[in-house]
A and B are shown apart, each in its own frame.
Chain A
Amino acid sequence: MNQGNVHQEFGFVRRYIISTDHKVIAKQYLVLALGWAVLGAATAYLIRWQIAHPDTEAFGWGYIEPQVYNALVTMHGTIMVFFVAMPLLLSVFGNFLIPLMIGARDMAFPKLNALSFWIFFLASAVLLASFFIPLGPAAAGWTGYPPLSAKNEYTGGGYGTDLWLVSLALEFASFLLGGINFLTTAMNLRAPGLTWFRLPVIVWMQLTAAVIFMLSVGPLVAGAILLLMDRNLGTTFYLADGGGDPLLWQHLFWFFGHPEVYVLLLPGVGIMLEVITVFARKPVFAYRPIIYTTIIAGFLSFIVWAHHQYISGMDPRLAMPFSITTIIISVPFALIIFSIIATLWGSSITLTSPMLFALGTLGVFIFGGLTGIFNGSAPVDIYIHDTYFVVAHFHYTLFSSVFFGGFAGIYFWFPKMFGRMMNETLGKVHFWLTFIFFNGVFIPMHLVGLRGMMRRISNPMQYEFLKAIEPLNMFITLMAILLILSQLVFVVNYFWSLLRGKVAEDNPWQANTLEWTTSSPPPHENFVTAPAVYRWPYDYSLPDSTADWLPQNRSEATAKLVTP
């Protein structure tokens, strides 16, 4: 307690800017990620405007030149994957929840944690700076395929691609350090009694994501160094005329890029599971099988990468094995999805805003998973590769995890983070608008793709066969603008709740995990008395107990003290 008082005396800078407190660092990531999301949405708006009304003046911006369009597409992917999804799902929820959920006072390496954030901040600054240099930011696509990315004359850019590579390298360093911290914290600092199989599912998912990231990003770090050398030292790793091979980059990129999909998916699934079990008042169905299949899926994610390259010119004999592994990886995820449905089965569901977003994650992800089977099998993919069908597919999977999952997490843990409740009515309005307009954008996008519209083209009207789908494209753009505008409901709710929201109780949702046993928001070093754990986190509605819920720190003897 004395120690806590000493820390209270820290000044503003020490408490909020260079803090080593994992909760503050999580909030720093949250601010940065939401800031980037605004920019990501702005790029999406401009891209959609250009597709619906090619070569007209975009409202609020002006004429979008083809070169600028390429940069916008590149930056949209880069920002959303690396500067919104990664920090939101891993850094915000991982940082905030792992120490609290395992009953630790902080991360294993608090200073390293702060360093991770500041490296990420630097990566953000480098990427943002690339918007303002002559010839603009990178324009070779978020996948950065050479030779487009290797030689400036192909994209008309300047140092934008170099800054893009440096920014990504810094970001990877930041997340590697973050992952090391997550793993060490969870392995070494768990509260007494908190065995591996008493950990909440989301902690397992965060750890699996950290391991997947750690083991897959290395080759891309190497690949990025080689690409920087190609651009600046005249080497020819990716240039066929010097004995190199552009396919090498594609392999290095997707060896990381596909596991990355699961790095982004698993934390979202974890949030969904935690929220659903609380508002269904039922234990997670098949807890151990979920953990085993998560690990199996993590392993499988390393051997599916070439399904991004069926028509790249790689040996076509590779298509069959990669088709098979890709279809196989849907099995563990099907098991997880069925477990979630079984958790919901026969339960008493309360449709709060976090629950709505969690159910939205589930529904949207099932849709995206099903179109994934189309893309995964080589014969179908040869037809739909590089079309808007693929774009629609990966937005269904990633938007589900990152935004529906992310919002579920924010609405659910907001009281614990900031000590105030978010407004339920605004939350529900936000959900329904987001859900309707999201589907309004991306269901028609499948049709556009099946009609043959290619990704990344700035003006579909140049193609005779695409002229007929112009009305559909205009509809999608309208829906996209409405989708972006409906996020204002969230912005209003967020800031209003932060200042004026109802003061939150310690455990407003009557949940079992350890973070709800401390105050809202938790004090510096989290727990006034170090918690001990007696049970797994999902004892809801036990048949032989009078209590509706039993927190993890409740021993058998005192179990009956909890009133439903």
Chain B
Amino acid sequence: MTTQTAAISEMESPVGKNGTWWFLASEIPIFGGLIAAYIVMRLGSAGWSEASSHLNFTVALLNTFLLLTSSMTIVMAHAAVQRAALKRAAHFLGLTILLGLGFLGMKAFEYSTEIGHGFLPSSGIFWSFYYGMTGLHALHVLAGIIVNVVLWSQTVTGSLAQQPHRVELAGLYWHLVDIIWIFLFPLLYLA
């Protein structure tokens, strides 16, 4: 019984990683479907670049850098927690959370300016897609921030030391959110 229990707990990390990869695999078709719909609709109608030119390219570019940087900080958090440097891991997790919040803050600023200029989700097919795609992505960023906050609180209680692979799994998800943005950014802002 003891040998079996040991074998199972050794398996835990691959089980978690395998499950996370399947989870990511199920996320990709959601955005894949949205992006495919965007491309098909865009090829079939006119006026998209005009609408797109009202977006704030500079803010979005800055946001891209924030998100890319946060992907790096979560990897550094993972590296720290693997060496049992919980305090260092807490710092990098905190930085990742702040960068994520920064992204959402800038996004909120963008939304409010656009709405202020009268561009609502109902203002046309480009705006429908813009709010739909970035909105769903923002929800994913928010979910990632919540996961990171939970992990950060586990560095405070110290329970993360027994479960270092959790940071890796959260990182996998965070990279996916990052990569999706890399697709959305040119489609919407450079269109």
Contacts and interface: CB of A to CB of B under 8 A. Distances in A.
B18 A187 contact: yes
Interface in B25-72: 25-34, 36-37, 40-41, 44-45
B27 A218 contact: yes
B44 A235 contact: no
Contacts of A181: 19
Contacts of B14: 188
Given A180-B23, A188-B15, A252-B33, A242 B132 contact: no
B158 interface: no
Contact of B33 (A109, A189, A222, A236): A222
Interface stretch (A11-19, A226-234, A265-273, A361-369): A226-234
B121 interface: yes
A255 B45 contact: no
A214 B23 CA distance: 9
A89 to B, nearest CB: 19
A144 interface: no
A106 to B, nearest CB: 10
B30 A219 contact: yes
A334 to B, nearest CB: 29
Contact of B124 (A179, A188, A217, A243): A243
B157 interface: no
B159 interface: no
Interface in A202-261: 214-223, 225-226, 229, 233-237, 242-245, 248, 252, 255
A187 B97 CA distance: 33
Contacts of B162: none
B113 interface: no
A127 interface: no
A176 interface: yes
Interface in A82-112: 105, 108-109, 112
A108 B128 contact: no
A475 B4 CA distance: 61
A129 interface: no
A443 to B, nearest CB: 38
Nearest to B20: A180
A233 B136 contact: no
A214 B26 contact: yes
A3 B11 CA distance: 20
B125 A244 contact: yes
What secondary structure prevails in chain B residues at the interface with A? helix
A217 to B, nearest CB: 7
Contact of A215 (B29, B40, B121, B125): B29
Interface residues of B, number: 37
B132 A219 contact: no
B101 to A, nearest CB: 24
B131 interface: yes
A218 B29 contact: yes
A93 to B, nearest CB: 20
B29 A216 contact: yes
B51 to A, nearest CB: 10
B128 A235 contact: yes
Interface string B1-20: 10010001001001100110
A183 interface: yes
Contacts of A492: none
Contacts of B22: 179-180, 183-184, 214
Contact of A237 (B27, B45, B132): B132
Nearest to B120: A234
B136 A218 contact: no
A530 interface: yes
B41 A108 contact: no
Contact of A236 (B27, B32, B125): B125
A252 B76 CA distance: 39
B45 A219 contact: no
A150 to B, nearest CB: 12
A234 B25 contact: no
A218 B41 contact: no
B128 A218 contact: no
Given A235-B132, A243-B45, A219 B121 contact: no
Interface in B81-127: 120-122, 124-125, 127
A217 B132 CA distance: 18
B11 A189 contact: yes
B11 A188 contact: yes
B52 to A, nearest CB: 14
Interface string A180-208: 11011001110000000000000000000
A229 B131 CA distance: 10
Contact of B18 (A184, A217, A225, A229): A184
Contact of A222 (B1, B31, B128): B31
A242 B124 contact: yes
Given A235-B122, A236-B125, A180 B19 contact: yes
A361 to B, nearest CB: 29
A236 to B, nearest CB: 6
Contacts of B19: 108-109, 112, 180-181, 184
Contact of A244 (B41, B121, B131): B41
Interface in A433-456: none
9 contacts: A105-B8, A179-B26, A189-B15, A218-B31, A222-B30, A235-B128, A236-B122, A243-B45, A252-B37
Q: 6 smallest A-B Cβ distances: which pairs?
A: A218-B29, A219-B33, A234-B122, A243-B125, A235-B128, A218-B30
Interface of B: 1, 4, 8, 11, 14-15, 18-19, 22-23, 25-34, 36-37, 40-41, 44-45, 120-122, 124-125, 127-129, 131-132, 136
Given A176-B26, A215-B25, A219-B34, 4 more contacts: A183-B18, A188-B11, A226-B128, A237-B132
